[in-house]
Amino acid sequence: MKKEKQFVVIGLGRFGTSVARSLHRSGYQVLAVDINAERVQKFSDEVTHVVQADTTDEASLEALGIRNFDVAVVAIGDDIQANVLTTLLLKEMGVRYIVAKARNFLHGKMLKKIGADRVVHPEYDMGQRVAHNLVSTNVFDY
């Protein structure tokens, strides 16, 4: 039997919670992690496991068994240092596929250099999708 992908989502802001919730609703096992106890508590019923941890701390990542995950989503936004350190540690630990959220294009470039497999710029990417959708469908046909 094919093994199901294991997902970890780090950072439970709007972006991270949306990703974690969608994966869970699609039937996948999701571990959600945030440094903030209140956010962890608020999200505790939503996915398979929710844990409070600082993901810039290598020992905490080890304790979570992070190296066994197939896909990690780094959804830490404001704190670029925490976002970059987390991505670097995940990469070094051997997480197979890392998606990281970038605040700006230089940040995105840095994430690529340290080994993120995919970099997302949520507002920019969504803007492009909306524009594409507006011109490729008959939105004026109502």
Which residues of this protein are in contact with ligand ATP, per CB under 6 A? 10-16, 33-36, 39, 54-56, 75-79, 82
Burial (CB count within 10 angstroms: exposed 0-12, middle 13-18, buried 19+), residue 101? buried
**Which CB atom, from 10 or from 31, has the smaller least distance to ligand ATP?**
10
- The least distance separating ligand ATP from the CB of residue 128, rounded to whole angstroms, comes to 18
- The least distance separating ligand ATP from the CB of residue 133, rounded to whole angstroms, comes to 22
Length of the chain: 142
- The least distance separating ligand ATP from the CB of residue 139, rounded to whole angstroms, comes to 27
Per the structure block, which two tokens stand in for 112? Answer: 């690529």
Distance in angstroms (rounded) separating the CA atoms of residues 124 and 49: 30
**Which CB atom, from 6 or from 11, has the smaller least distance to ligand ATP?**
11
CA of 59: how far to CAs of 37, 62, 90, 116, in Å?
19, 5, 12, 21
**Which CB atom, from 12 or from 102, has the smaller least distance to ligand ATP?**
12
CB 86 within 8 Å of CB 10: yes
- The least distance separating ligand ATP from the CB of residue 87, rounded to whole angstroms, comes to 11
**Which CB atom, from 7 or from 15, has the smaller least distance to ligand ATP?**
15
